[in-house]
Amino acid sequence: MPKFFVKEENIFEDRVMIVGDDARHIGRSLRMKIGDEITLCCNNTDYSCRIASISDTAVRADILSKNKTQAEPDISLVLFQAVPKSDKLDFIVQKASELGAVKVVPVITRRCVSRPDKKVFEKKQRRLQKIAEEAAKQSGRGIIPEVGGIIDIKEYYDMLKGFDLNLLCYEGGGKRLCDIDLLKSAKSISLFVGSEGGFDENEAEEAFKRGATAVTLGDRILRCETAPLCAISIIMNITGNI
């Protein structure tokens, strides 16, 4: 059944209104008709609905039932990703969204080859946000993961205190994820993954001083677009979300 995200102000007691691009997509691309059933989502709640009226500008759907979204993880995982080359970040955002991350934050580190200006990155950020939304629809998420603006590593350090557990995938070695006891009880987790060149030793040491835990993903060398997906999958499995 098709799924779309809607804003809270478009939800009424017995109906939901869908407007804009999604309304056009429902009528023109999906060719849905009055009487067809559709799932609409807002704030981690799924609304099972039946289409009552349809046009290019708005779709009205009557609410049949509503339930908490079952596919949403019970942990809040934020991926801090050192900016990779080319379009690898597109792939990372898409798959991280499917796997359950609530936010992806691009970070500029010393070894990043790609170093876009914050202003220049704003256009790409909008495209990445759209990728996250489409991935959330496809995977049945209860929220649309956020793609943050680009930050430098000093800003990352300042954000560490906001999480129960901070993990940094380090090529210099560390604990296996399955050996981190706090992982089973933490509700907010930050995961930091480097770019193609990994992390500068001084950058990593500063993160460890501020409470981050070095983790290893094994003896094999993973690409920068593979490592975050591997780590998120393991975390979701350990926490019972896969």
Which two three-digit tokens encode residue 219? 């003896």
Q: In the CATH scheme, what architecture does the domain 3-68 have?
A: Beta Barrel (2.40)
- Note the pLDDT of residue 41: 95
The residues, any chain, with a CB within 8 Å of residue 11's CB and separated by 6 or more, are: 42, 47
- Note the pLDDT of residue 193: 98
Judge if 3-68 and 76-238 fold alike in CATH terms: no
- Each residue's pLDDT tens digit, 21-40: 899 999 888 999 999 999 99
- Each residue's pLDDT tens digit, 113-165: 989 888 889 889 999 999 999 999 999 999 999 999 999 999 999 999 999 99
CA angle 119, 124, 129 (to 5 degrees): 120
pLDDT at residue 1 tops 80:
no
Side chain identity at residue 222, one-letter code = L
- Each residue's pLDDT tens digit, 178-227: 999 999 999 999 999 999 989 999 999 999 999 999 999 999 989 999 99
- Extended beta strands in 15-163, E state: 15-19, 37-42, 45-54, 58-68, 76-82, 103-108, 146-147, 151-152
Domain spans in the chain, listed from the N-terminal domain onward: 3-68, 76-238
CA-nearest of 158, 150, 156 to 115 is 150
- Class of 76-238 per CATH? alpha beta
- Each residue's pLDDT tens digit, 64-118: 999 999 999 999 999 999 999 989 999 999 999 999 999 999 999 999 998 988 8
The residues, any chain, with a CB within 8 Å of residue 226's CB and separated by 6 or more, are: none
